[in-house]
Amino acid sequence: MTTTFHIRPALAQLSRYRTGGVAVLRRTTPESAPGPLVQLAQNEGSYGPLPSAQQAVRAAIAAGNRYPEGDYSTLRRAIAAHHGIPEERVFVAGGTTAIMHYLSLCLLEPGDEAVFGRPSFLAYHLETLKMGATPVGVPLTAEGSFDTDAILRAITPRTKIAYLANPNNPSGGLLTRAEVSDFLDRLPAHVVPVLDEAYFEYVDDPDYPDGIHEFAASATGRHAHRLVVLRTFSKIYGLAGLRVGYAVMPPDLVQAAMSAQVPFEVNTLGLAAAEASLAAPAHEIAHRRHETITHRKLLADALTGLGIPYLPSAGNFLQARVGNADTVAAELEHHGVLVRSLTTWGAPDSVRITIGTRPELDHLIAALPRTSFTRTTGRR
Ligand SMILES: *Cc1c(COP(=O)(O)O)cnc(C)c1O
């Protein structure tokens, strides 16, 4: 097929990325097996929007003929109040992936570099490529967290962004307060650090830092003048389909990102759901965190019983070394369970399993022994 368009070469490399949702769509075709599919491939919160958020969405539908508030001031003020920071430091967008896109647009010239761990969230790589800039993936430590020393060594004069996923997706590894602090102290002044805390609310570890309060808040943070911290409503708040995330970052970067942003990107329903979610009592989120940690332990024990090594995870997911990831993921799909093969992430022997509800995990644990996973004995 020929085309009359000149597509920017930077986009040509991007077509390989597909989300786990593809398999869900395929299941709707007649030849596929009957029954519901268990979706453990996308790290979504498994609980749905909080009741108060569902109520807020229902109430907001009636005003669906009106454009949303242009600068999202109401939600930005609520986020600012929640964290005790000024509204001018808060940027809201249609998911944190969109924020990565705007950071690229604001900070990367063709030929610049963005550095991050590998394997990690694919958007760091893809949003860098889109600008004609160069993604630099630095292998993780054996425990599955970012190797901050190696990342610092990979920095060049062209490096403009350094992403730290804490905890990392897909491995689940954490950086401690001391490690993040030391990294920020040593990072050269020409690089913008982006601390991605998408799974913040799942973490229950005293050494895990709160990037907003400890590093990015203007009153207290030594790194407030350049640090970006990302949070999302897609995970524990259960709003992945409503697309809302935010960044806490320096006011001039907020201004630049807002100039680059598509107008009315975040819709009325997402804004209403996010506001209600922030206002929800802390115990509702704590309950989800505790359940997730309990279920993660259950899955970890089942994997150990099968001889499948996994990485210690602080998030709502586990990276498990099953052998041939594509084969095992396809076999699990045949048994009605979707997990994510990490082949395109550079870990073809591993899958990532989202920690679902108890019935969802029971389904997975029953299906796993019927796949051709490789049993590993002894050390991983
Ligand atoms: C899921 C995830 C996000 C959130 O993406 P949204 O666009 O906000 O849905 C961000 N970073 C990482 C590392 C993630 O795994």
**Checking DSSP bridges between strand 113-118 and strand 134-139, what pairing results, if any?**
parallel
Q: Is residue 162 located within the same domain as residue 195?
A: yes
Q: For 138-161, write each residue's pLDDT tens digit.
A: 999 999 999 999 999 999 999 999
Res. 218 pLDDT band, cuts 50 70 90: low
Which of 262, 278, 294 is where one domain is finished? 278
Query: Quick check: CB of 171 below 6 Å from ligand 1?
Result: no
**Structure token pair of residue 221:** 């943070």
Query: Quick check: CB of 234 below 6 Å from ligand 1?
Result: yes
Enter the pTM of the model: 0.94
Q: For 50-89, write each residue's pLDDT tens digit.
A: 999 999 999 999 999 999 999 999 999 999 999 999 999 9
CA distances (Å), 185 to each of 8, 168, 188, 191, 276, in order? 37, 21, 8, 12, 36
Q: Is residue 104 located within the same domain as residue 152?
A: yes
Res. 217 pLDDT band, cuts 50 70 90: confident
| Mean pLDDT for the stretch of residues 198-207 | 97
What is the structure's pLDDT at 8?
86
C-alpha–C-alpha distance, residues 86 and 251, integer Å: 9
Query: Quick check: CB of 179 below 6 Å from ligand 1?
Result: no
Res. 225 pLDDT band, cuts 50 70 90: very high
Q: Is residue 43 located within the same domain as residue 75?
A: no
Q: Which atom of ligand 1 is nearest to the CA of 245?
A: 8
Res. 190 pLDDT band, cuts 50 70 90: very high
Cβ atoms within 10 A of the Cβ of 376, count? 15
Q: Is residue 267 located within the same domain as residue 348?
A: no
Q: Give the domain CATH number at 233.
A: 3.40.640.10
| DSSP letters for 347-369 | -TTEEEEE---HHHHHHHHHHGG
Coil, strand or helix at 307: coil
With both helix axes pointing from N to C terminus, report the angle between 96-107 and 251-260 in degrees, rounded to the nearest 10. Answer: 100
Closest residue to atom 15 of ligand 1, CA basis:
169
Q: Is residue 259 located within the same domain as residue 111?
A: yes
* Phi, psi torsion values for 341, nearest 5 degrees: -70, 135
Closest residue to atom 10 of ligand 1, CA basis:
198
CA of 85 to the centre of ligand 1 (A): 23
Residue 28 lies in domain: 9-48+282-370
Query: Quick check: CB of 128 below 6 Å from ligand 1?
Result: no
C-alpha–C-alpha distance, residues 361 and 295, integer Å: 8
Q: Is residue 309 located within the same domain as residue 241?
A: no
- What percentage of the chain carries pLDDT values higher than 90? 86
